[in-house]
Structure 1
């Protein structure tokens, strides 16, 4: 009797030993699926729904999900709450560098009472120790994380240097950010303003050609401002095929109104299209409205209603049914920049 029970116990232990890795893998796969669902919702600015997904993924041990859960809580309160700190700590202990950098930030990030018990310098050093070797080995994601670490540490030159290195190594977001730093932050030294403008366009083109919609939109505007309308129109057309809300709205209204936009809205924002394409443009705006529920696309159509016949709108509505189907409309929110 004793021998039989012992044998059964050993068999049960063996079964559990074999099953544990299987369960662990299932949890990891479930956590990753939840994270991906949450990330899409986050990029759509559906934060409450995203938080639910991130929280569950974090419970299953997903470090990056914990970071985003903390981010949502922090953004809602404008500082790190105790609950946000708990998520950030899980993420940081799990190796998420940006969570470490949240702990390294100064000012209101800590909380209204400035009574956080974590060591900023320790977290900053820890983040650098992780990403510096990876960045030096050519990892562009690590380069961008390292630039954020130097920015937090107050070294603006190193911050700029690593963004530039990431851009030179083909990181589309870094290329876009280089243009923003040169254009909006007056970073870098140039003998002439023409040289600065040339580099702004260079980095925007590099990013846009990789399909980064935020770069396409900024590039189109810059080209329009400089009178390079043909190339600007090319990017407007490309923007209509993206999943970026701002780009889709801009493309939709420009294509819909064409040269009439000068009379309806403002001559300064015209791309000098040869003719309006009301069906195509209105269809884009209607599809964006359907997917996002925002009033802006419909308001732009209403501004042009004197030019839109019932037949045009009927055709646009029909065409809109084929656009942006199963395509989440997102905002390309940065991981650390908010």
Structure 2
């Protein structure tokens, strides 16, 4: 199973408030741009449409995509971070606030700034603290990341933030906090379960691994299927693999058609990540025992699955703190 990174989850379908002010076409461009960004594909043309329409989230993600491409904060990257930050986006403020060590400063060619990095960081901290003091789960998590105060992480987790819940599980497993040895594993599972129930597919895959190791195959099957249903790349791959290649390992009924269909969907993730290595290795292994008619059925099943489920995603972190 692939190593799981700590992530922040951000859906591909947005509320009306998140897209306020955008035209229908700009909203569609934003949704597609974020989908492509989460698939490690070229997302700038779509994100730029929504960013130019004034959407702060699109401006942040456009800046992120440009920064990753250029490897440092260029004048254009800074412009979009600043536009997003000026609308109150905390993640854009944090990115600007942590730009002191950026390559542009080393090269002495940073863009002109309306505020210094420390001013942006101070503003982000002030806003996040105000919201955190009112119990806002995401702001509590941001304050934890800004201060490293684990009490804030636990408060965010108790307030229902799936990312904080995931981090609590990881921390407990690594020995953080004050827990009796025989209670630590239970705490790990409790936090992963809360995070998974909150929609975090990486927590779902952690539960899949835990229950598989315990021999609770019913729960292992349940959580790998749930992770796949979110569009999470690892969940889709593992669900397809255990249906078509090693069904007895989890107690599945062999289903090469469905397994082939699921893994074939991952061919779409050709913009980055390691998905293609798995596809190229596993798909021929499944196909060699299938008839042309079965493969055609699998192709039709894949189309149906794609229409009925969220887009495939690596669920990358929104920002690395």
Match of 1:278 in 2: 256
Corresponding residue number in structure 2 for 1:144: 141
What is the CA distance between 1:74 and its match in structure 2? Answer: 1.6
Out of 118, 121, 124, the residue aligned to residue 118 of structure 2 is: 121
Indicate which of 16, 23, 33 corresponds to 1:38.
Answer: 33
Q: Which residue is 1:188 aligned to? A: 177
CA RMSD of aligned residues (A): 2.9
Q: 1:329 aligns with which of 291, 312, 321?
A: 312
Where 2:69 maps in the other structure, the secondary structure is helix
**Counterpart contact for 2:212–2:250, Cα < 8 Å:** no
TM-score by length of 1: 0.75
8 A contact 1:220–1:236 mirrored in 2: yes
Counterpart residue number, 1:153: none
Gaps of 5+ in 2: 1-19
1:251 is aligned to 239
Q: Which residue, 155, 159, 162 being the options, matches 1:169?
A: 159
The Cα shift of 1:224 comes to 2.0
**CA radius of gyration, larger in:** 1
For 1:262-309, what per-residue CA distance to the aligned partner results, in whole angstroms no more than 9, with x for missing partners?
A: xxxxxxxxx4325432222222222343x4456433531223455445
Counterpart Cα distance in 1 of 2:100 and 2:282? 41
Deviation at 1:205, TM superposition (A): 1.0
Contact map agreement 1:217 1:247 (CA 8 A) in 2: yes
Higher relative contact order (CA 8 A, sep 6+): 2
Question: Deviations for 1:163-214, whole angstroms, at most 9, x for unmatched residues?
Answer: 322211112232223223334x55333342x433222211111122233222
How many matched pairs?
292
The yes-or-no answer on 1:319 pairing with 2:319 is: no
Matches of residues 89-238 of structure 1 in structure 2 within 5 Å? 89-105=82-98, 108-109=101-102, 111=104, 113=106, 115=108, 116=110, 119-150=116-147, 156=148, 158=149, 160-183=150-173, 186-192=175-181, 194-238=182-226
Contact 1:166 1:174 in 2 (8 A): yes
Out of 78, 82, 96, the position equivalent to 2:75 is: 82
Contact 1:132 1:142 in 2 (8 A): yes
Shift of 1:114: 6.3
Q: How big is the shift at 1:73?
A: 1.6
Structure number having the greater helix percentage: 1
Native 8 Å contact 1:108 1:114 kept in 2: no
